[in-house]
Amino acid sequence: MIVDAQSVKTTDLTKNSGYDGGKKISGIKRHMAVDINGLPQAILVTRANVSDRSGALAMFSLASQNLELVQHVMVDGGYTGNDFADQVKLILNAKTTVAKRNELHTFTVLPQRWIIERSWSWLDKCRRLWKNCERALNSSLQMVVLAFLKIVLKRY
């Protein structure tokens, strides 16, 4: 399973938006875990000020029953730390691997990381998801679920 988060600007200044200082975006953050085919296994929508690590752990806690068979979790450099790996081990009983970028700052394709980036690009094809238009976080989550349902139905 591969995990990542995406910050999205919001069109409406509501109480459910936060500020992501790393990406300088005021809005929401989508946390997603996908399988090897790029299909979502767990999704969580939070305010943008929630860190990637804490959002991923909350997502794992909410979807732990659906993720019982997961043995390996791949994350990017934003999830580094023994504390995160230990928490994933407690929640999912899975091993965590961090795929780090090259220190030389040259472009290289990180192994298996392109799968979740492809899933994000599938979502970007849905124009309604370019910006967050929903007032409630649950509505934003349901729009992501509907977008993936549309993607799956078109393929099969």
The predicted pLDDT at position 58 comes to 95
Cβ neighbors of 70 (< 8 A, separation 6 or more) are 1, 41, 92, 94
Mean local confidence (pLDDT), 22-45? 91
Q: Which residues contact 29 (CB under 8 A, 6 or more apart)?
A: 5, 6, 7, 8, 18, 20, 45, 46, 47, 48, 50, 52, 55
Is residue 57 predicted with pLDDT exceeding 90? yes
User: What's the pLDDT score for residue 35?
Assistant: 92
Give the model's pLDDT for residue 16. 78
What's the confidence (pLDDT) of residue 111?
66
CATH number belonging to domain 2-100+109-151: 3.30.420
Please compute the mean of the pLDDT values over residues 105-113 and round it to a whole number. 68
* Per-residue model confidence (pLDDT) at position 106: 67
Residue 65 has pLDDT above 60, yes or no: yes
**pLDDT tops 80 at residue 104:** no
Confidence of residue 131 (pLDDT cuts 50, 70, 90): confident
Per-residue confidence (pLDDT) for residue 92, from 0 to 100:
94
pLDDT above 90 covers what percent of the chain? Answer: 49
Question: In whole numbers, what is the pLDDT of the chain averaged over residues?
Answer: 87
> What pLDDT is recorded for position 43?
96
Q: Ramachandran region of residue 119, left (φ > 0), alpha (ψ -120 to 50) or beta?
A: alpha
Asked if pLDDT for residue 89 goes beyond 70, the answer is: yes
Alpha-carbon dihedral sign for residues 72, 74, 79, 80: positive
